Amino acid sequence: MERPTLVLGASTDPSRYAHRAAERLLDKGHPVLLIGKRAGEQGGAPIRTSIPAEAVVDTVTLYINPLDQEQWHDRILKLSPRRIIFNPGTEHAAFAQRAADQGIEVVHGCTLVMLATDQY
């Protein structure tokens, strides 16, 4: 089974880019692990407020600002994802360097564009 994409900043609000990305990931058959400020549900997948201890992920796509994401850095690196996507507005040079130093692919791009152009 394909390892999921962790969407950090997931939301039940359909106007949010994280919501749109999760929707497109699910539409294209990619499993997701949704993590947000508030618990909820999207497309049959629960939105959790913390990363489960047993989580194994392929990709982390970031939808929270650099300051708010700092509390997540160590936990994300501990997951050893294959890649981390820094969507526009989420760029964090020090975190990107830490990830690259651990052999994690760092992508500065847009998950929605990557999905729309079959580059995901």
Q: CATH number for the domain including 75?
A: 3.40.50.720
pLDDT in tens, 69-120: 999 999 999 999 999 999 999 999 999 999 999 999 999 999 999 999 999 9
Structural domains in the chain (count): 1
**Adjacency order of strands within the sheet including 105-108:** 40-42, 45-48, 32-35, 5-8, 59-62, 83-86, 105-108
Give the structural domain span for 106.
Answer: 5-116
- The overall pTM is greater than 0.85: yes
Q: What is the pLDDT of residue 2?
A: 87
- Tell the burial category of 118 from Cβ atoms under 10 Å away from its Cβ (0-12, 13-18, 19+): exposed
What is the Cα–Cα distance from 10 to 18, expressed in whole angstroms? Answer: 5
Query: 3-state DSSP helix/strand/coil percent for the chain, to nearest 5?
Result: 35, 20, 45
Q: Are the beta carbons of 85 and 114 closer than 8 angstroms? A: yes
CA angle 25, 29, 35 (to 5 degrees): 45
Q: What is the pLDDT of residue 114?
A: 96
Q: What is the pLDDT of residue 60?
A: 98
pLDDT in tens, 18-39: 999 999 999 999 999 999 999 9
Residue carrying structure tokens 């700092």: 70
Q: What is the pLDDT of residue 1?
A: 67
Helix, strand, or coil (residue 58): coil
Position 58 pLDDT exceeds 80 = yes
